[in-house]
Amino acid sequence: MKSKGGILVVDDDPDLREFLRLMLTSMGFEVISAANGQEALDVLEGHHPDLILLDMKMPVMNGWEFCRAVDGRDACPPIVVLTAAPDPAARAAEAHADGWLGKPFEYEDLEATVRRFAARPAR
């Protein structure tokens, strides 16, 4: 039986992971992090988050590869790609992701995007 909820942050930059963890917890979310696509797949084995925030350029397994790996899976959480590429919307569409955030992003945009997909846990 998988545990449920929270946001899975996948980024190879530890500082950005930490930043996102801090921001998202301050917004009231629970956060799990992974350093690349492979680690994220491992996390998904035992947990079903509400949302995945996914960096695209990562070692071991990058964002596109991760998206391909989970594409078509039943009950895969929605994916929002985090990308520094010039045309983030197109990148997101290519990867069949559900949304995108261009780096660097505004605090407000982060919050608004995340809220569209993930609910805060009831206390």
Residues that bind another protein (CB under 8 A): 13, 15-16, 19, 22-23, 26, 57, 84-86, 103-107, 110
Judged by CB, which is closer to another protein: 48, or 57?
57
**CA atoms of 23 and 26, how far apart (whole Å):** 5
Judged by CB, which is closer to another protein: 13, or 71?
13
Give which of 80, 70, 76 is closest to 115, Cα–Cα.
80
CB of 15 to another protein, least distance (A): 5
CB of 118 to another protein, least distance (A): 18
Judged by CB, which is closer to another protein: 74, or 108?
108
Q: Which helix (H) or strand (E) holds 9?
A: strand 7-10
Judged by CB, which is closer to another protein: 23, or 69?
23
CB of 14 to another protein, least distance (A): 10
Secondary structure (H, E, C), 14-71: HHHHHHHHHHHHHCCCCEEEECCHHHHHHHHHHEECCEEEEECCCCCCCHHHHHHHHC
